[in-house]
Each structure stands twice: as C-alpha cells, then as structure tokens.
Amino acid sequence: MKKILLLLFLFTILNNCGFKKRVDHHGVHMLKKKSEDIIVAETNKNDVIKLLGPPSTISTFDNDLYFYIERKITTKPLIKLGKQKFLENNVLIIEIDNRGITAKKEFFDLNKMKKLKIVSAETSVDYQKQDFIYDFLSSMRQKVNDPLGKRKRD
C-alpha cells in the first residue's frame, strides 16, 4: 500500500514537471522582424496598423507616437524557486507626422534598455504646512466675518 502511494505521489510530481519551458508571450509577436518592413518616410499610418495591429499606447503631442510592446517571460528552474526571467522585452516607437507618414522609428531591445540612463534627481517641495493652515484659517475668518460675501472690501 505504501509503495502504491509513493508511486502515485512520484507520478504526479513528475507529471507536473515538464521538460519544455513555459513561455508567456504578451504584445506583438515577432516585433523585430515586423519592424524591418516599416520604411521611414514611405510607410503610412494605415500600413503600420495593418502590419502590427493597433498600438499598445498612443501619445499625441506634436506628432502621433505609436508604442508597440513585445515581452516574453519564462520561469526559472525549481532550484531558483520559479522566479521569472525575461527572454525578450522589445519596444518599438513609431512617430507619425501630421500627414500620416512615418517620420521616425526606434527599436529598443533588452540590451539597449539596460544602457538607458534614468535620472535620479528629485524635485524639492517648497511649501510649508503652516502656509496651508494660515490660508485655511484666514478664509474661515473671512467667511465668519462676511457670510454672504456682500461686504465692501477696502
């Protein structure tokens, strides 16, 4: 009986541990290969949407910026406690001018993103709490002295 339970336990453990890596894929498949088909100053907005689909994000400042994202994640082995590992993390930024033609495209992969510098400067806070309290109490005093707001101000 113990041997059967042990075999059943081992069978379920080994059955759940597969030899293939599980890969979670999010975004546009084969983004790098598809981005090579986009030619700056020739491809228009409709061709980009037909080739890559709708963008993940659209930013509208001076020109339209289309952001396409591709991410592949796998889990590390059981020894590493199943932590996640990035296989691919690609971002394609396409700038489209006001005529609907691609003006610029930039492709960022995982290695290029590691080289990006992130500014660590912080903005300072210039207000003080007593300023808020003083303003609040002043407005309350004004409302108590003139509840209807009809008093003529000098």
Q: Residue 39: give the domain boundaries.
A: 20-116
Q: What is the pLDDT of residues 99-120, one digit of tens each?
A: 999 999 999 887 777 676 777 7
Q: How far is CA 55 from CA 2, 14, 64, 67, in A?
A: 57, 41, 11, 6
Flag whether 78 is in a domain. Answer: yes
Flag whether 66 is in a domain. Answer: yes
Q: How far is CA 45 from CA 17, 60, 65, 68, in A?
A: 45, 14, 11, 14
Flag whether 154 is in a domain. Answer: no
Flag whether 93 is in a domain. Answer: yes
Checking if the pLDDT of 56 tops 70, the result is: yes
Q: How many domains does the chain have?
A: 1
Give the residue with greater pLDDT, 46 vs 18: 46
pLDDT cut 90: percent of the chain above it:
26
Span 68-84, average pLDDT: 78
- Identity (one letter) of the amino acid at 92? L
Flag whether 146 is in a domain. Answer: no
Flag whether 151 is in a domain. Answer: no
Flag whether 46 is in a domain. Answer: yes
Flag whether 7 is in a domain. Answer: no
